[in-house]
Amino acid sequence: MPGLKIGKMIMRSLGGKPATLMYPVIPREWTERTRGHISVDMEACILCGICGKKCPTDAITVSRDAKTWSIKRMQCIQCSCCVEVCPKTCLLNEATYTTPAAYKIVDTFEKPEEQGAAANEGSLQCDDTCVFCGICAKKCPQEAITVVRKEKKWEVDDDKCTRCGLCLEGCPKNSLKIE
C-alpha cells in the first residue's frame, strides 16, 4: 500500500526493548574520554594561578593568601585548558558530570597544611650565562621577574614567585634553576 511505509519500523519497536535509559534509576555508562568535571590534586598544586588566568570563562579562582583553589562548577565548560597549562599536572578532567543542583555550585579546596612549607622551598636563581634577553620576565604569570638589558640587571621578587617553572622552560641559555 502506498502509505504507512514506516510499518516495519513500528512493528520492530513494538516488540523490542525501549531505546531510552531509565536514568537516573539506571546509572549512565561514561566513556573514557567524556569531559565531565575538573578535579585537582591539592598536594601537588603550587597555587601558581596559571589555570585561573587561562580559563576562558573565569571559573577558577586561586588564592595564594588563603591557600585555596576554587572552581565554579556551572561556569566551567570542561575545555581542559587548565589541565593543559598546569606546570605540575595536578588537574584532571574526570569522566562524570557534576550532579545537577538548584544553585550554582562552587567547590573550594584547601592546600593541606603540612605541604605548605615544603612546596615553596628553594628560590629562583640566575647564573652568569644570562644574556638579559627578558624572555623569563615575559613568561612569568605573576610578573615576579624584572630584567633591564642596558643595566644588565636581573632580579626576582621572591614573594611573588610561585616556583611554577615556566621561566626555566623558556630560558634560551638554561641559566635559571630553582634550589
Partner 1 sequence: MAKRTVIPFGPQHPVLPEPIHLDLVIEDETVVEAIPSIGFIHRGLEKLVEKNEWPEMVYVIERICGICSFGHGWGYCKTIEGNLGVAVPPRAEYLRTIWHELGRIHSHLLWLGLLADAFGFESLFMHSWRLRETVLDIFEETTGGRVIFSVCKVGGIRKDVTDEKLAEIAETLNGMIPELEELTEVFLEDLSVKNRLEGVGVLSEDDARELCAVGPVARASGVGADVRLDGHGAYAELGFEPCVEEGGDSMARCRVRVREIFQSIDLIARAAARMPDGAIDVKVKGNPQGEFVGRMEQPRGEAYYYSKGNGSKFLERIRVRTPTNANIPALVKMLQGCDLADVPVLVLTIDPCISCTER
3 interacts with partner 1 by CB under 8 A: yes
| Amino acid (one-letter) located at 21 | L
Q: Binding of partner 1 at residue 75 (CB under 8 A)? A: no
Would you give the binding string for partner 1 spanning residues 91-130, x where CB under 8 A is met? --x-------------------------------------
Per-residue x/- track, 27-56, partner 1 (CB under 8 A)? ----xxxxx------------------x-x
Q: Which is nearer to partner 1, 78 or 120 (CB)?
A: 78
Applying CB under 8 A, does 4 fall inside the site for partner 1? yes
Nearest-10 Cα torsion for 11, 16, 19, 23: 140
Query: Cell numbers of 123, please?
Result: 628560590
Binding site for partner 1 (CB under 8 A): 2-6, 8-10, 13, 19, 31-35, 54, 56, 77-81, 93
